[in-house]
């Protein structure tokens, strides 16, 4: 018997993983949630049929989303994570002792519940006493927040799902307002490769550039995402992502990582020429 999970990456491109068995399937108020087990990628989570993470390659995404801003900001104590119900970003953040408080705003309680039960690899640190979970629309949560956070990490699904509001100008503007005067925002920035993803990527960049004085993009390689080539946004009120990187200090923390290094940190901001052009086009 062969059982395959397939996701359309475009109208004409499909990506498939052979499934050993389905561990969970359910419908929340917001989306359909599924967890599968596979030989190649271990367990993986999908929302409305779109792959969110696999056990095998999630470290790339979560390390790069977390350690890049953590190595730039000199003293991040209060962090906001928007989305991220699988707990991967939280797991990385809780490795830093100096962080005092992490607020996580996830719209869908069922994603957290399912992750805790079936994805302990990422959801393992959601019980950390510094973590406070709010089940709310991120856009609503941030509307009334002023100069509270040192770092905001936006770890959401693609626009089209319940995360649609997290790709808007009003959201990025609200994040600016919710950050302290040296705050940093890192966000899921889609992919530059396929046309439709690339258009979203450009729109997102345009909106962030309009809201933050410093706005740079960096790249990662996530094998199970469309094209395998994914971008993150680094938007900041004060710190430059490469010039203000304090490599010595970060390495002193002694955190062991599998993807992130301070050398890769600088390299990740060097983008392919065509991506540079796309970004420049909307700046």
Partner 1 sequence: MSLSQERAPVYEALEEFRRMRVVPFDVPGHKRGRGNKELREFLGEKCVSLDVNSMKPLDNLCHPVSVIREAEELAAEAFGASHAFLMVGGTTSAVQSMVLTACKRGDKIILPRNVHRSVINALVLCGAVPVYVNPDVDHQLGIALGMKVSQVEQAIKENPDAVAVLVNNPTYYGICSDIKSIIALAHAHGMMVLADEAHGTHFYFGDNLPAAAMKAGADMAAVSMHKSGGSLTQSSLLLTGPEVNPGYVSQIINLTQTTSGSYLLLSSLDISRRNLALHGRETFCQVVELAEYARAEINAIGGYYAYSRELVNGDSIYDFDVTKLSVYTLEIGLAGIEVYDLLRDEYDIQIEFGDIGNILAYLSIGDRRQDIERLASALAEIKRLYQKSRNGMMSQEYISPQVVVTPQDAFYARKESLPLKETAGRVCSEFVMCYPPGIPILAPGERITDKILDYIVYAREKGCSMTGPEDEKIEALNVLL
The answer on whether 86 is annotated among ligand-binding residues is yes
The answer on whether 156 is annotated among ligand-binding residues is yes
Query: In angstroms, what is the minimal distance from the CB of 230 to partner 1?
Result: 24
Radius of gyration of the chain (CA): 18
Total of residues contacting partner 1 (CB under 8 A): 16
CB 197 within 8 A of CB 227: yes
The answer on whether 11 is annotated among ligand-binding residues is no
Phi, psi of 258 (to 5 degrees): -105, -25
Say whether residue 212 binds partner 1 (CB under 8 A). Answer: no
The piece of 47-55, 111-119, 137-145, 234-242 that touches partner 1 (CB under 8 A) is 137-145
Q: In terms of C-beta density within 10 A (0-12 exposed, 13-18 middle, 19 or more buried), how is residue 260 classed? A: buried
Q: In terms of C-beta density within 10 A (0-12 exposed, 13-18 middle, 19 or more buried), how is residue 16 classed? A: exposed
CB 171 within 8 A of CB 165: yes
Q: Is 155 a catalytic residue?
A: yes
When the beta carbons of 32 and 117 are compared against partner 1, the nearer one is: 32
The answer on whether 138 is annotated among ligand-binding residues is yes
When the beta carbons of 162 and 226 are compared against partner 1, the nearer one is: 162
Query: In angstroms, what is the minimal distance from the CB of 169 to partner 1?
Result: 6
Q: Which residue has the tokens 């301070």?
A: 262
The answer on whether 57 is annotated among ligand-binding residues is no
x-marked contacts with partner 1 along 148-187 as a string, rule CB under 8 A:
--------------x-xx--xxxx-xx--x----------
When the beta carbons of 32 and 140 are compared against partner 1, the nearer one is: 140
Query: In angstroms, what is the minimal distance from the CB of 164 to partner 1?
Result: 6
Helices (H), the chain: 58-72, 88-93, 109-118, 120-123, 138-143, 169-178, 195-209, 247-252, 262-268, 273-282
CB 212 within 8 A of CB 237: yes
When the beta carbons of 141 and 260 are compared against partner 1, the nearer one is: 141
How far is 107 from 30, CA to CA, in rounded Å? 8
Interface contacts to partner 1, rule CB under 8 A: 137, 139-140, 142-144, 162, 164-165, 168-171, 173-174, 177
- Binding region for spermidine: 62, 86, 155-158
Q: Which residues are catalytic?
A: 155
């Amino acid at each position: 018997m062969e059982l395959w999970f397939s996701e359309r990456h475009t109208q004409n491109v499909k990506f498939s993983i052979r499934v050993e068995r389905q561990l969970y399937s359910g419908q929340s108020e917001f989306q359909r949630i599924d967890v599968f087990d596979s030989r190649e990628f271990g367990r993986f989570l999908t929302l409305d049929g779109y792959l969110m993470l696999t056990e095998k390659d999630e470290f790339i995404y979560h390390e790069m989303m977390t350690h890049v801003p953590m190595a730039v900001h000199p003293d991040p104590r209060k962090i906001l994570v928007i989305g991220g119900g699988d707990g991967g970003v939280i797991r990385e953040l809780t490795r830093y002792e100096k962080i005092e408080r992490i607020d996580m705003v996830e719209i869908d309680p069922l994603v957290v519940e399912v992750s805790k039960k079936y994805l302990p690899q990422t959801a393992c640190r959601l019980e950390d006493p510094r973590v406070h979970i709010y089940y709310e629309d991120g856009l609503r949560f941030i509307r009334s927040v002023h100069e509270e956070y040192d770092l905001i990490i936006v770890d959401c699904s693609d626009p089209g799902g319940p995360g649609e509001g997290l790709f808007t100008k009003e959201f990025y503007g609200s994040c600016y307002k919710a950050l302290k005067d040296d705050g940093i925002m890192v966000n899921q920035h889609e992919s530059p490769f396929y046309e439709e993803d690339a258009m979203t990527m450009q729109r997102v960049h345009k909106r962030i550039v309009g809201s933050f004085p410093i706005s740079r993009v960096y790249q990662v390689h996530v094998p199970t995402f469309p094209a395998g080539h994914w971008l993150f946004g680094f938007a900041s009120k004060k710190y430059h992502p490469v010039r203000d990187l304090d490599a010595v200090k970060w390495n002193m923390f002694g955190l062991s990582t599998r993807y992130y290094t301070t050398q890769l940190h600088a390299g990740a901001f060097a983008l392919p020429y065509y991506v540079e052009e796309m970004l420049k086009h909307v700046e």
